[in-house]
Amino acid sequence: MTTALAVLAGGLLGPALLTAVAVVVPAVIGRIFGRLLRTALLLTLPIAVSVLVVNLFFFPAGRDVLFQLGPVTATAEGLEFALETLARIGAISGAITLFYLTTPPSELVLDLERRGVSPRIAFVALASVQTVPALVERAATITAAQRARGLDTEGSLWRRLRGVLPLAGPVLLGSITEVEARTLALEARGFTRPGRRTLLWWPPDSARQRLARWVLVLAVPLLLVARALGWLGWLN
Amino acid sequence: MTDLALEGVSYRYRQGATLALDGIDLHIRAGERVAVVGQNGSGKTTLVRHLNGLLRPTLGRVLHDGRDVARRTVAQLARTVGLAFQDPDRQIFAGSVRREVEFGPRNLGISGGELHRVVDEALAEVGFAGEASTNPYDLGASRRKLLALASVQSMGTPVLILDEPTTGQDMRGVEIVKLLIDRAHAAGRTVIAISHDMEFVAASFDRVVVLRLGRVILDGSPASAFDEGSWEALRSTYLEPPLPAIIGSRLGLGATPTDDELLAAL
Ligand SMILES: Nc1ncnc2c1ncn2[C@@H]1O[C@H](COP(=O)(O)OP(=O)(O)OP(=O)(O)O)[C@@H](O)[C@H]1O
Ligand SMILES: [Mg+2]
C-alpha cells in the first residue's frame, strides 16, 4: 500500500512523509528500525547510487549548472529528479522490508487461507519463500563436503567460481527431488482433501491494524483523484 | 604420517547458545583407530570437522604434526585428512559413480592410469565393481552412503575420518565398512569414525573417545571404556556398553567387549 501511495503522491515531500508515517514510526515502535535500515540500505544501495549519478549528471532537461566534474556537468534539475526518485525508492524498499521483517511466512499463509485463498496456492507461496534459506544452507553443506575432498574455494574469485559452479546443478536437482518426497508427505497427511480447514490458531488482527489498512486503501483512490485534479502541487 | 592434536579447543556455532565443544584436549597418533561416541548433539561431528579445517576453533588450537593449521585452507588440509560426511546426500553431486569417486583424487592431482586404478580399487572395496557408470541417485540410501565412503577412501589420505559410516547399513554393509577400516589401518593410515554402534566400535577400534556436552568424559581402549567401572559414565551420555562386555562382567570374566573376546574367555 505504502508503495502505491509513494508513487502516486509524487514530488519529494510526499514519499518522504509517507515513509515517515507508514514505515519509520511502526518500525521504531516495533524496535526493528536498525535492522530495517540495514536491510533496506543493502537492498537499494546499488540502485540508489546509480540513480543519483545518472540523473545528477545526465538529466536531459538540466539547465541550472551546480558544478563541473571533468567532462560532465551536474544540474539542479537532475539533482531534484534524483532526490524525488530516491524518495520513492526509499518508500518502496522501506515498505517491503518492513513487511518482510514483521510477517513470518507461516502467518502470512494462514491469513491468506483465512481470506479464502486455496491451500495449494498458499502452500506454493510459503514454499517459495522458505526454500531460499534451505537452498542456501544446502549449497553451503555441499560446498563444505567438496572442500573436504580437496576442492579449492578459497583462492581468487575465478578459482572459486570454477570450483563452485559445477555444484549448482546438484544443489538445484537435490531440491527438486525433495519436492517429490514433500508431495508424498503432504498427500499422506490429507493435504488434497476437499473442504475447508479448521484453523487452530488465527494470526492476530487487531482493530487498529484493520483501521490502518483501510486508511491506506482509501488513500489510494483519493490521491489518484487529487493528483489528476492537480491539488498536490504544494508537495513539490 | 600425521599426528593430530586438539589443544583446549572450544567451539560455539553462530546461533548456538552453548558451547558445542568445551575445552577439548585430544592427541591422536599416526596409525591409531579411534572411535568417537556420545549421544546426539554431544559434539562428535563438530569435533571431527575441526581436524580438516571445515570449522575453526573459537578458542584453542588444532595441530598437525605439532604445527598449527590455522593458516592452511581446507583444500590444503584435504591432502592429509579425508572426511566422509554423515549425510551422503550432502556430499554426492556427480552424475556417475565413477565421476563421484574420481573427484577427490583428481583434486589431489592424481590423473591418468593411476586415477583409474585408485578409483577401481575403492569401488571394488565397497562392492561397486560393476556400477561405475550408474547414476548415484539410482542407488538406495545405504549404498549411497557406501559410495560416499569410497569417494573419500579413494583419496588415500594419511587420515581417514568417517562420520557414522555404519548407520543404516545391514550386516553386509557393516562388514564392508569394517574391511575398509582394516585395510586403511593395515596401510598405516589413521582411522577416526563416529558411531552409535558399540559392537562395531569394540570390534574395529583401538581407542574409544566418549563425548558428553562437548567434553571428553572417557578416553581409552574398548576394554577399559566398556569396563564395568565406565558404565555409569557411558549411560550418562545415553550409551549402552556392548552385550558381550555386560555378559563377561556378569560372569566375572574380566573385560570382554567383543563376541570373540567373550568366547575366548569362556
Ligand atoms: N550449524 C549449526 N548451528 C548451530 N548449532 C549447531 C549446528 N550444528 C550443530 N549444532 C549444535 O552443536 C551441538 C553439537 O552438534 P554435533 O552435530 O557436533 O553433534 P553430534 O554429536 O554429531 O550429534 P549426532 O549424533 O546427532 O550427529 C548440538 O547441540 C547441535 O545442536
Ligand atoms: Mg553428527
Residue A154 has a pLDDT of: 67
**B46 CB near ligand 1 (under 6 Å):** yes
Higher pLDDT, B73 or A125: B73
pTM > 0.90: yes or no: no
Structure confidence at residue A54 as a pLDDT band (50, 70, 90) = confident
Of A177, A113, A77, which Cα lies nearest the Cα of B137? A177
Residue A59: φ, ψ to 5°: -65, 120
Q: Choose among B90, B108, B151: nearest Cβ to A141.
A: B90
- 3-state helix, strand, coil split of chain A in percent (to 5) is 75, 5, 20
pLDDT of B79 over the 80 cut: yes
Nearest CA in chain A to B163: A145
Per-residue pLDDT tens over the stretch B35-63: 999 999 999 999 999 999 999 999 999 99
Q: How many helices (H) and strands (E) does chain B have?
A: 11, 10
Mean pLDDT estimate for chain A: 78
Q: At B194, which amino acid appears?
A: I
Of B242, B206, B208, which Cα lies nearest the Cα of B225? B208
Residue A196 per-residue DSSP state: P
Q: Which residue has the cell 559452479?
A: A165
Instruction: Tell me the CA–centroid distance for residue B163 and ligand 2, in Å.
Output: 7
Per-residue pLDDT tens over the stretch B96-105: 999 999 999 9
Residue A181: φ, ψ to 5°: -60, -40
Could you give the CA distance from residue B188 to residue A128 in angstroms, rounded to a whole number?
50
Of A87, A98, A97, A101, which Cα lies nearest the Cα of A48? A87
Q: Which residue has the cell 574391511?
A: B179
Residue B213 has a pLDDT of: 94
Ligand at shortest distance from the CA of B20: 1
Least confident of A195-209, B118-132, B178-192: A195-209
Q: Which atom of ligand 1 is nearest to the CA of B21?
A: 14
Residues of A in contact with B89 (CB under 8 A): 174
Query: What pairs with residue B10 in β-bridges?
Result: B59
Q: Do B78 and A147 touch (CB under 8 A)?
A: yes
Residue A23 has a pLDDT of: 78
Residue B119 has a pLDDT of: 95
What the block records as the C-alpha cell of B176 is: 564392508
The residue whose C-alpha atom lies closest to atom 20 belonging to ligand 1 is B41
Residue B137 has a pLDDT of: 84
Residue A27 has a pLDDT of: 79
**B195 CB near ligand 1 (under 6 Å):** no
Could you give the CA distance from residue A40 to residue A38 in angstroms, rounded to a whole number?
6
**B238 CB near ligand 1 (under 6 Å):** no
Structure confidence at residue B215 as a pLDDT band (50, 70, 90) = very high
Strand ranges across the sheet with B59-64: B21-28, B4-11, B59-64, B67-68
Residue A40 has a pLDDT of: 83
Residue A80 has a pLDDT of: 85
Structure confidence at residue A5 as a pLDDT band (50, 70, 90) = low
Residue A12 has a pLDDT of: 62
pLDDT of A4 over the 70 cut: no
Residue B144 has a pLDDT of: 92
* H or E stretch covering B220: strand B215-220
Q: Choose among B73, B89, B151: nearest Cβ to A149.
A: B151
- Using CA atoms of B126, B129, B134, B137 in order, give the dihedral in degrees to the nearest 10: -10
Ligand at shortest distance from the CA of B36: 1
Nearest CA in chain B to A146: B91
Residue A235 has a pLDDT of: 57
Instruction: Tell me the CA–centroid distance for residue B40 and ligand 2, in Å.
Output: 7
Structure confidence at residue A223 as a pLDDT band (50, 70, 90) = confident
Q: Is B3 helix (H, G, I), strand (E, B) or coil?
A: coil
Q: Choose among B75, B90, B94: nearest Cβ to A150.
A: B75
Ligand at shortest distance from the CA of B214: 1
pLDDT of A30 over the 90 cut: no
**B212 CB near ligand 1 (under 6 Å):** no
Residue A231: φ, ψ to 5°: -85, -5
- Using CA atoms of A105, A110, A115, A117 in order, give the dihedral in degrees to the nearest 10: 80
Q: Do A177 and B137 touch (CB under 8 A)?
A: yes
Q: At B130, which amino acid appears?
A: G
Contact between residue B105 and residue B67 where contact means Cβ atoms under 8 Å apart: no
Instruction: Tell me the CA–centroid distance for residue B89 and ligand 2, in Å.
Output: 14
Residue B152 has a pLDDT of: 95
Question: Considering only residues 165 to 184 of chain A, which have any Cβ-Cβ distance to chain B shorter than 8 Å?
Answer: 166-167, 169-170, 174, 177
Residues of B in contact with A141 (CB under 8 A): 85, 87, 90
Q: Is B8 helix (H, G, I), strand (E, B) or coil?
A: strand
If one counts every other C-beta atom within 10 angstroms of the C-beta of residue B186, the result is 8
Nearest CA in chain A to B138: A177
Contact between residue B204 and residue B33 where contact means Cβ atoms under 8 Å apart: yes
Could you give the CA distance from residue B5 to residue B69 in angstroms, rounded to a whole number?
10
Q: Strands B190-194 and B33-37, how do they pair? A: parallel
Q: Choose among B90, B104, B137: nearest Cβ to A149.
A: B104
Residues 6+ positions from B251 with CB-CB distance below 8 Å: B266
Q: Which site among A149, A151, A154 would you substitute to test the B interface, given the most B Cβ atoms closer than 10 Å to its Cβ?
A: A149
Higher pLDDT, B47 or A122: B47
If one counts every other C-beta atom within 10 angstroms of the C-beta of residue B95, the result is 14
Of B22, B28, B26, which Cα lies nearest the Cα of B42? B22
Query: What pairs with residue B64 in β-bridges?
Result: B4, B67
Per-residue pLDDT tens over the stretch B106-143: 999 999 999 999 999 999 999 998 888 999 888 988 99
Q: How many helices (H) and strands (E) does chain A have?
A: 9, 2
Residue A186 has a pLDDT of: 82
